[in-house]
Amino acid sequence: MKQTVTLIVPCYNEEASLPIFYKAVCDVARELEGYDISLLLINDGSKDGTLNVMKQLAAQDSRVHYISFSRNFGKEAAMYAGFCNARGDYVAVIDADMQDPPSLLPQMLRILKEEEYDSVATRRVTRDGEPPIRSWFARMFYRIINTISEADIVDGARDFRLMRREMVEAIVAMSEYNRFSKGIFGWIGFKTKWLPYKNVERVAGETKWSFWGLFKYSIDGIVNFSQAPLSIASLTGLVFTLIAFFMILFIIVRKILFGDPVAGWASTICVILFIGGIQLLCMGIIGQYLAKTYLEVKKRPHYIVAQSSDEDVVRVK
Ligand code: UDP
Ligand code: MG
Mean pLDDT of 104-117: 94
Average pLDDT, the chain: 91
Q: What's the gap in Å between 80 CA and the centre of ligand 2? A: 18
74 C-alpha to ligand 1 centroid (Å):
8
Residue 260 scores a pLDDT above 80? no
What tens digit of pLDDT does each residue of 196-243 get?
Answer: 989 888 888 888 888 888 888 888 899 889 988 988 888 888 888 888
Looking at residue 262, its amino acid is: V
Pocket of ligand 1 (CB under 6 A): 10-12, 14, 44, 72, 74-75, 78, 95-97, 99, 202, 207-209
Give pTM, 2 decimals.
0.87
- 137-178: pLDDT as tens digits: 888 998 999 899 887 788 889 999 999 999 999 999 999 999
Sheet with 305-308, strands from edge to edge, namely 192-197, 119-124, 157-164, 90-93, 3-11, 35-43, 64-69, 305-308
Residue 80 CA to ligand 1 centre (angstroms): 14
In the prediction, which pLDDT does 261 show? 66
Is residue 73's pLDDT more than 70?
Answer: yes
Cα 258 from Cα 140, distance rounded (Å): 51
Give the ligand with the smallest distance to the CA of 159: 1
